[in-house]
Amino acid sequence: MMLAAPLGLVALLGWAVPLAVHLARRTETRPTDFAALKWLRQKPRPRHRPRFDERPLLAVRLVLIALIALWLARPMLPGSADRSPVTAFAPGTVPGTGEGRRLWLAPGFPPVEQAVAGGGPVDSLIRQLDADLPAGVALTVVVPERLAGVDAERPKLSRAVTWRVVPGGPVVRPAMAAVPELVVRYAPERAGQLRWWRAVGAAWGRPVAVAGTEVPVPAGARHLVWLAGGPLPAAVRDWVAGGGTVLVPVDSPANGAVVWRDALGAPLAEAAKLGRGRIVRLTRDLTPAAMPELLEADFPAELRAVLAPLPAPSVVMARDYAPLTGGPASDEPVRDLRLPLALGIALLWLIERWLATARSRGVSP
Amino acid sequence: MWSSGWSRGCAAPVVELIPADVRHRLRDLTLATRRAIGDRGLGAHRSASRGAGLEFAQYRPYERGDEPRQIDWKLYGRSDRFFVREAERESPVAAWVLLDTSGSMGQADAARPDRSRLDAGRALAACIVELALMQGDRFALVTLGEAMRVVPPHGGARARDRLRLELAGLSAGGVLPDERALAPVWGRIGQRDLVVVVSDFFDAGTLDLAVRLSAAGREVLAIQILTVEERNFPFDGGYRFRDPETGEELLGDGAALRAEFVARFGAAQVALHAGLDAAGIRRGELVLDQPLDTPLRTLFG
């Protein structure tokens, strides 16, 4: 047993109180009328031995104080955890035979006898299970072939895990991001830049709808190139807030964080959120002199990644996701003994009250 | 037990000092004096001779030689005959109760603080008075304490009630009165009277008093009242013993004092009994946990 707050044992000094209470009454003298005093002869008092009245009550009180002091010292009992091996089944697998305790790899780690609705993030749960188990407990994890909703990094655990892959798992079609369809609105003085956007559209294989700034943006459009200086008109801002993405030239108000850099690390574009949409601003003039990338072959692909980023991969083949070892070992789980102690204290207090208020007791504190 | 039926200093006109069971057992007892028997009366001390007196006995027809002042003239007015009114002659014996009311009589046991030695003493006095009344004897009371009171001998139920009130108002305190204060009393106690001294006999003066009365020809009986603590000395632990009369104090551990106290107290009791016996004084003893009539049975049973 360890004590989390050993200073709590200072409360044992409280033993002095019941000891004093039970001892003090010994030494006091009770005045008594006694007419036959002349037949009493003064005797030297017998050698004073420390004697205590009502020893059972005193014992109960001492034990009670000791328990309270122990409670204040917050005792912990290490090594009380179950050391049988653990087999964890990810939801979606059929719990078969496994050695030791068999659990669902789900929040709370319910035993497999219980039905479990659905799991959480597998990697997080594996890390939690690894931290909860005492060192040296063998852990087997049964996972389906494909795992969804996991980190991009293999979990690093404190122990070697037996990683069993069974058929099954979510069937997720890889998200095929649609090629954006560009809508261009331009001020007359910037008609010269239109050719770049037409080239981009040709590279994407999508038509480009070009019109003046006075033409409203069609409702179904998702991507707009705004070739005009100054702040965006209110109508366009509303459209962006509704979920659109707009690309504005360098002479628009600066905003947002850099999302595209050139080979030297200098910013090429920055983006900011507006409502549910985004405003992407090019930080340079759309000329080959200011922006040599314009002439690069991968410019359309880079631009597409900026305007319509591909969704991050979220499904991994479980065989590639076997946890690594070498993670930090968590502390041994300990049992807090304060609750059973508190129950014992309450019970002992009742006994003390019962003894102290017993009818047979004389007049005493 | 006998303490249940009464309380001290009660405002009720007649205070019941004698519990019912003791009163019931009183019928078996008689106040007998060795010297009065066969003197004038028959049986107990009731006088059979009639004559002038307070207690009415009977009417009888006038005979020659009767004094004219004995004739009941009112009855003559109604019946036109002479009748002589006769009264019982008073008993020749008076029972004197000498009740110690000094401070030591106020002591009670810790176990029964409501039952002091004085309570037992006045209940005993009431019993003796009741006995005397039942057999037609007169009775008197002298309290020996801070306030010395003398109730002169009288007979009859009213005198009994008066005396009972007197008893109910007593409280313990002070020391035994000295000889000079007692002197007027001696003259009033008749030659044939029965004297019952109710005391704890801790003060040597009480024994002297009884011995002197006995030597002067009165029949003296002694009733000693002891508390349970004096008999058993049940003290354990530290105590400050205090004499209620002198105020003297003694600190001691009960258990350590017990053996010697029991021995010395027993020796003192033996000496007291020897002194009483030598003076021809019969004695009874009441410890507070005994039935009230224990000494009465010893003396009058």
B56-115, pLDDT tens digit by residue?
A: 767 889 888 888 888 889 999 999 999 988 766 666 788 999 999 999 999 998 888 888
Q: What part of A 29-68 touches B (C-beta under 8 Å)?
A: 29-43, 45-46
For A34, which of B241, B260, B268 is closest by C-beta distance? B241
A74: alpha, beta or left, given left = phi > 0 and alpha = psi -120 to 50? left
What are the strands of the beta sheet with B149-154, ordered from one edge? B149-154, B138-144, B94-100, B194-199, B219-226, B282-287
Question: Candidates 3.40.50.880, 2.40.50.140, 1.10.1060.10, 1.10.10.10; correct CATH number of A182-307?
Answer: 3.40.50.880
Residue B211: helix, strand or coil by DSSP?
helix
Give the pLDDT of residue A162.
87
Direct distance between the N- and C-terminal alpha carbons of chain B, in angstroms, rounded to an integer? 20
pLDDT at residue B197 tops 60: yes
Find out whether A35 and B104 touch, Cβ atoms under 8 Å. Answer: yes
What is the chain A residue with the closest CA to B267? Answer: A39
Averaged pLDDT score across all residues of chain A: 82
pLDDT digits (tens, 9 = 90+) for A291-308: 888 888 888 888 888 887
CB < 8 Å to A31, chain B: 239-240, 242
Structure tokens at A143: 């996972």
Q: Which residues contact B100 (CB under 8 A, 6 or more apart)?
A: B121, B143, B144, B145, B176, B197, B198, B199, B200, B203, B206
- Same structural domain, B84 and B205: no
**Amino acid, res. A357:** T
**pLDDT over 70 percentage in chain A:** 90
Residues B71, B188 share a domain: no
CB contact under 8 A, A43 and B256: yes
B146 found inside a domain: yes
Quote the minimal CA–CA distance from A350 to chain B in Å: 30
Does A30 sit within 8 Å of B243, measured CB to CB?
A: no
Task: With a cut of 50, say whether residue A193 has pLDDT above it.
Answer: yes
Same domain, B263 and B232: yes
Mark yes or no for CB contact B241/A40 under 8 Å. Answer: yes
Q: Is residue B272 included in any domain, yes or no?
A: yes
Q: Could you say which of A26, A32, A38 has the minimum Cβ distance to residue B239?
A: A32
CA pair distance B116, A211, nearest whole angstrom: 125
Give the closest-approach CA distance of B202 to chain A in angstroms: 7
Query: Domain limits at B128?
Result: 20-36+91-300
Here the tokens at position B90 are 């008073």
Our count of domains for chain B comes to: 2
pLDDT at A245: 87
- On whether the CB atoms of residues B225 and B199 are closer than 8 A, the answer is yes
Structure tokens at B263: 């021995």
Q: What pLDDT band is residue A164 in, cutting at 50, 70 and 90?
A: confident
Averaging pLDDT over each range in A43-52, B45-54, B61-70, B97-106, which range is the top one?
B97-106
> Does any domain span residue B9?
no
* pLDDT of A243 strictly over 50: yes
Q: Calculate how close chain A gets to B169, using CA atoms only, in Å.
A: 22
Reported as a single tens digit per residue, the pLDDT across A70-108 is: 999 988 887 666 778 888 888 878 777 767 788 888 888
How many pairs of residues across A and B have Cβ atoms under 8 Å apart?
Answer: 80
Rg for chain B (alpha carbons), in Å? 22
User: Is pLDDT above 50 for B9?
Assistant: no
Q: Mean pLDDT across the stretch A244-269? A: 83
Residues 6+ apart with CB under 8 A from B8: B119, B168, B171
Residues B137 and B161 in one domain: yes
Q: Is residue B6 part of a domain?
A: no
Give pLDDT, residue A44: 62
Q: What are phi and psi of A244, to 5 degrees?
A: -90, 165
Nearest residue on chain A to B247, alpha-carbon basis: A33
Q: Which residue of A has its CA nearest to B202?
A: A36
Q: How confident is the model at residue B117 (pLDDT cuts 50, 70, 90)?
A: very high
Using alpha carbons only, give the angle A212, A214, A219 rounded to the nearest 5 degrees.
Answer: 95
Break chain A into its structural domains and give their ranges: 1-27+52-79+332-365, 86-173+318-329, 182-307
- Helix/strand/coil for A335: strand
Is the per-residue pLDDT at A249 higher than 60? Answer: yes
Q: Among A122-131, A197-206, A213-222, B8-17, whose mean pLDDT is lowest?
A: B8-17
Q: Are residues B74 and B149 in the same domain?
A: no
| Residue B175 clears pLDDT 90, i.e. is over it | no
Q: What is the CATH number of the domain that holds B29?
A: 3.40.50.410
- The pLDDT, as a whole number, for residue A27 is 57
A163 strand-pairing partners: A141
Indicate whether A52 pLDDT > 60: yes
| Nearest Cα to Cα of residue B143 among B113, B108, B187, B175 | B175
Co-location of B100 and B150 in the same domain? yes
Q: Is residue B246 part of a domain?
A: yes
Residue B49 has pLDDT above 80, yes or no: no
Asked whether residue B83 falls in the same domain as residue B190, the answer is no
* pLDDT band (50, 70, 90) for residue A345: very high
pLDDT of residue A341: 92
Note the pLDDT of residue B3. Answer: 43
Answer yes or no: do B242 and B175 share one domain.
yes
Q: How confident is the model at residue B53 (pLDDT cuts 50, 70, 90)?
A: low
Reported confidence tier of residue A143, pLDDT bands at 50, 70, 90: confident
Say if CB A314 and CB A172 are below 8 A apart.
yes
What CA–CA distance (Å, rounded) separates A170 from B212?
Answer: 126
Find out whether B202 and A35 touch, Cβ atoms under 8 Å. Answer: yes
Torsion angle, alpha carbons of A193, A197, A199, A204, to 10: 170
Among residues 295-324 of chain A, which lie with CB inside 8 Å of chain B?
none
Interface of B with A (CB under 8 A): 103-104, 106-108, 110, 200, 202, 229-230, 235, 237-246, 248, 250-253, 256-257, 260-261, 264-265, 268
- B229, part of any domain: yes
User: Exposed, middle or buried, A240 (CB in 10 Å: 0-12/13-18/19+)?
Assistant: buried
**Structure confidence at residue A319 (pLDDT):** 84
Q: How confident is the model at residue B8 (pLDDT cuts 50, 70, 90)?
A: very low
Band of the pLDDT at B12, cuts 50, 70, 90? very low
Which residues have a Cβ under 8 Å from the Cβ of B207 and sit 6 or more positions away?
B201, B272, B275, B276
A302-327 tens-digit pLDDT: 888 888 777 777 778 888 888 888 88
**Tokens 């099954």 map to which residue?**
A168
Task: Indicate the pLDDT class of residue B39, thresholds 50, 70 and 90.
Answer: very low
Q: In this structure, is residue B42 part of a structural domain?
A: no
